């Protein structure tokens, strides 16, 4: 039965270059007017997308431009000065005031991927400019944080000191020390994630600002070479940081970055990197996992499945690489199978229907997985693949889209608690989000000791609009208390994930045709 579904507004084309030796897999605009969406825009998801994007304005550091958040002001404007750098931009990761480069770079990668796949839908909902504004604020910071080939500043602030204070970012006075990785103090995970962010963003900006795009791509290649040449995890180099964003391994980030660099450059060596010995050693192919800021393997599998879906004979890609890509696609298939609730290999759900992976920040994995499902559904439809095999069962792209929408709907209020976990959307959403700036009145200077506002039983005086909080427990319960960090803290990477998901299910259109 024909289904009206959302297609990719950026399609894959294989372009032969360099005498056919290298093939570029690039995102190109849909032929009907540069990424336009012929289908209708769902007003519910459009409203939710507009709300979600506001959290990036809430999280901005530095001297604000056209500030639309009345309780926010300039902050951390001197960040980076001790190293002669301008690190004032970027975003605070959550309710605190540290700029952690690892999750910030992932946030940027996901914003870029969302714009590349669904920029037309975003434009139709009049939200693409907001997404680009957030992305540029992060990328300006990341570019400045990479002053030389083998040097990347990965953190601003002291998390131990920061977490002892409850204050607004505008009034904080603690020292803001800088942390960097070098050849002697490696951090392949954060360097490779930053490379991925820059490569993905270079694709976004290529038709908008060619000079900026070229700069991003140059830095991306330098950072990938640095990450690969000087291997090591940043939390092994700086053990104290493992208490915050502990990186399980750097291997997945190397493959993730190689995948994005292949798409951005068309250089077949990056695809060979991901499908050759490194892929065989690092990708854990055949074992489906859940996508997150710490584990990029499912994202890489979906990203590289583009090549398998859209490559044609004579594409110029070496057969070994094509065989390796097929292994990525097969694993991506397995990832999709565990996401589908009716599959024999379905992962655990709450009674309310939420994919459940972890107690802490329980919404991250289902939202990230739902985004991948929406993208994969569109890849299948665009390439003419109508069935997904899960053992003895088969499923359609529409089944993947149904799962993606179910997770978004749960987030937006269709859950046993009848609460929207997206702050500012709907009639009932968390009132005591664990967020310092939101919890303290804008005219109050607490110094470091604003604990009374942390402990206050009253709703936050400021609404952290667009915040996606951690979410419910396995029994679908949720406690709206400010000190309930597991459930009630919001993060910028959560916001990037929900922006991607909402953009992916925003509109309906006929199945697009590949331009290959």
137 in helix, strand or coil? helix
Query: What does the alpha-carbon distance between residue 269 and residue 18 come to, in Å, rounded to a whole number?
Result: 13
Spatial contact of 162 and 74, defined as CB atoms under 8 Å apart: no
Query: What does the alpha-carbon distance between residue 60 and residue 68 come to, in Å, rounded to a whole number?
Result: 11
Burial 258-295 (b: 16+ CB within 10 A, else e): bbbbbbbbbbbebbbbbbbebbeebbbbeebbbbbbbb
Query: What does the alpha-carbon distance between residue 385 and residue 484 come to, in Å, rounded to a whole number?
Result: 45
- Residue 37 CB contacts under 8 Å (≥ 6 apart), including other chains: 9, 120, 121, 123, 124, 507, 509
Query: What does the alpha-carbon distance between residue 189 and residue 238 come to, in Å, rounded to a whole number?
Result: 13
CA atoms within 13 A on the CB side of 58: 29
Query: What does the alpha-carbon distance between residue 361 and residue 384 come to, in Å, rounded to a whole number?
Result: 36
24 in helix, strand or coil? strand
- Residue 209 CB contacts under 8 Å (≥ 6 apart), including other chains: none
Catalytic residue among 146, 219, 365, 434: 434
Structure tokens at 508: 């309906």
Spatial contact of 356 and 362, defined as CB atoms under 8 Å apart: yes
Is 434 catalytic? The answer is: yes
- Residue 228 CB contacts under 8 Å (≥ 6 apart), including other chains: 188, 192, 254
Query: What does the alpha-carbon distance between residue 508 and residue 498 come to, in Å, rounded to a whole number?
Result: 18
Of 8, 141, 169, 57, which Cα lies nearest the Cα of 506? 8
Spatial contact of 182 and 151, defined as CB atoms under 8 Å apart: yes
Residue 152 gets which letter from DSSP? E
Query: What does the alpha-carbon distance between residue 412 and residue 353 come to, in Å, rounded to a whole number?
Result: 13
Sign for the CA dihedral angle at 10, 12, 13, 15 comes to positive
Query: What does the alpha-carbon distance between residue 67 and residue 63 come to, in Å, rounded to a whole number?
Result: 9
Q: Where are the alpha helices (DSSP H) in 386-479?
A: 397-411, 436-439, 451-455
Q: Which residues are catalytic?
A: 434
């Amino acid at each position: 039965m024909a289904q009206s579904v959302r297609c990719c507004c950026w399609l894959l084309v294989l372009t032969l270059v360099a005498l056919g030796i290298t093939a570029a897999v690039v995102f190109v605009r849909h032929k009907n007017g540069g990424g336009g969406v012929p289908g209708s825009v769902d007003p519910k998801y459009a409203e939710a997308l507009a709300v979600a994007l506001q959290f990036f304005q809430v999280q901005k550091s530095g001297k604000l431009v056209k500030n639309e958040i009345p309780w926010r002001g300039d902050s951390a404007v001197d960040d980076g000065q001790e190293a002669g750098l301008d690190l004032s931009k970027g975003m605070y990761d959550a309710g605190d005031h540290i700029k952690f480069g690892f999750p910030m770079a992932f946030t940027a990668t996901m914003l870029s991927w969302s714009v590349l796949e669904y920029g037309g839908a975003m434009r139709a909902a009049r939200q693409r400019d907001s997404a680009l504004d957030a992305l540029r604020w992060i990328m300006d910071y990341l570019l400045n944080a990479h002053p030389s080939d083998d040097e990347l500043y990965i953190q601003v602030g002291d998390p131990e000191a920061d977490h002892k204070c409850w204050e607004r970012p505008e009034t904080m006075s603690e020292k803001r020390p800088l942390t960097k990785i070098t050849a002697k103090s490696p951090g392949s995970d954060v360097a490779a994630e930053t490379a991925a962010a820059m490569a993905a963003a270079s694709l976004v900006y290529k038709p908008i600002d060619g000079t900026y795009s070229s700069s991003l791509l140059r830095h991306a290649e330098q950072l990938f070479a640095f990450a690969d040449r000087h291997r090591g995890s940043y939390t092994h180099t700086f053990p104290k940081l493992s208490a915050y964003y502990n990186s399980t391994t750097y291997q997945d980030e190397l493959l993730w970055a190689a995948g994005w660099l292949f798409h951005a450059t068309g250089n077949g060596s990056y695809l060979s990197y991901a499908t050759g010995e490194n892929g065989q050693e690092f990708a854990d192919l055949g074992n489906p996992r859940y996508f997150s800021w710490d584990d990029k393997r499912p994202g890489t599998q979906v990203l590289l499945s583009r090549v398998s879906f859209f490559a044609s004979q004579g594409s110029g890609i070496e057969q070994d690489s094509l065989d390796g890509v097929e292994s990525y696609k097969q694993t991506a298939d397995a990832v999709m199978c565990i996401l589908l609730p009716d599959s024999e290999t379905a992962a655990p759900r709450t009674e309310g229907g939420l994919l459940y992976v972890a107690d802490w920040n329980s919404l991250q994995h289902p939202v990230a997985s739902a985004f991948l499902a929406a993208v994969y559904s569109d890849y299948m439809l665009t390439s003419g693949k109508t069935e997904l095999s899960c053992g003895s069962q088969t499923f359609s792209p529409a089944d993947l889209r149904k799962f993606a929408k179910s997770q978004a709907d749960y987030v937006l209020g269709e859950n046993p608690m009848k609460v929207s976990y997206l702050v500012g959307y709907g009639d009932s959403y968390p009132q005591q989000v664990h967020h310092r700036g939101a919890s303290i009145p804008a005219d109050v200077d607490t110094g470091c000791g604003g604990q009374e506002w942390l402990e206050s039983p009253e709703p936050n005086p400021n609404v952290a609009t667009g915040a996606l909080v951690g979410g419910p427990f396995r029994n679908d319960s949720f406690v709206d208390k400010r000190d309930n960090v597991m459930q009630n803290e919001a993060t910028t990477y959560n916001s990037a994930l929900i922006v991607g998901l909402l953009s992916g299910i925003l509109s309906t259109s006929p199945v697009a045709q590949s331009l290959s």
